[in-house]
Amino acid sequence: MVDRLVNSESNARRIACVEQCFGSSGQPLAVAGRVLVGEGVLTKMCRKKPKPRQFFLFNDVLVYGNIVINKKKYNKQHIMALEDVKIESVEDQGNLRNGWKLISPKKSFVVYAATGVEKQQWISHIKKCVSDLLNKRGIPQDLSTENDSPVWVPDSSASKCMHCKRSQFSMLNRRHHCRKCGLVVCNDCSNKRWLLPQQSSKPLRVCLTCYGKLSKNPSEPVNDMPEDSSGEDTDEDEDDVDYVGVTDDQFHSYN
């Protein structure tokens, strides 16, 4: 069904509509051979609290963004290459149910669907797209996790540094995240940087444990991070916008 939609007018209209909803803040999505497979609203676990995000599943990428006006306007577009995506189910925790991890080298996080049925729809469609894409390109899926980015531990899960176990977080003692393991750590325990090319072209903050493993010589003297980098981390799609018209939109498939 996806192959029949490749050059169809209906698929072109759908992709053009998605581009229009992101406006000038988004990247062009009309690429030769690309098909919009489905879309829907998922709750993404951000560093501070779960927030609704609009997701668009294409046959080669997964696109998501912040909801400004549901079905009309989105911002902070993110694109994940499906050939790098792995899926791992997560257990239900209180009101957070029907979740799974989306894992990739550039970014990893947890999302939650409104129902168990919707969760299975999303997972089955994503896995099918990944499988078809890899088969078409003639490459096997990389099942190793060494180069995958970590799923960040939410701020609310740590009242004190998860590295030293002593430093209590406060308005002055801010939380930071290690870009290698995802733990919430204090500034003193994450004052080193390391180049993680899958995530960024610049060296990123890592905890002392990960730095020691990466450098293979924990006692090696290194410079601390610049003073202007000691502020609080920011999740790249975290903001305080009040969203308009967000609903528990089920996965809508186009194939």
Lowest-pLDDT range of 7-21, 28-42, 180-194, 239-253: 239-253
Q: Give the model's pLDDT for residue 63.
A: 98
pLDDT tens-place string over residues 130-156:
999 999 999 888 778 888 999 999 999
Lookup: tokens for 148:
């995958």
Helix (H) or strand (E) holding 68: strand 61-69
Q: Give the integer Cα–Cα distance in Å for 237 and 240.
A: 10
Lookup: tokens for 253:
């498939």
pLDDT tens-place string over residues 64-93:
999 999 888 999 999 999 999 999 999 998
Lookup: tokens for 185:
């750590």
- Asked if 176 contacts 205 with a C-beta cutoff of 8 angstroms, the reply is yes
Listed in order, the ranges of the chain carrying CATH 3.30.40.10 are: 155-229
CATH number of the domain at 155-229, please? Answer: 3.30.40.10
Global pTM value = 0.86
Class of domain 2-146+245-253: mainly beta
| Nearest partner of 130 among 99, 90, 84, judged by Cα | 84
pLDDT tens-place string over residues 163-209:
999 999 998 999 999 999 999 999 999 999 999 999 999 999 999 99
Residues contacting residue 193 through CB under 8 Å, at least 6 positions apart: 203, 204, 205, 206, 225
| String of DSSP letters for 121-183 | HHHHHHHHHHHHHHHHHT-------TTSPPBPPPGGG-SB-TTTS-PBP-SSS--EE-TTT--
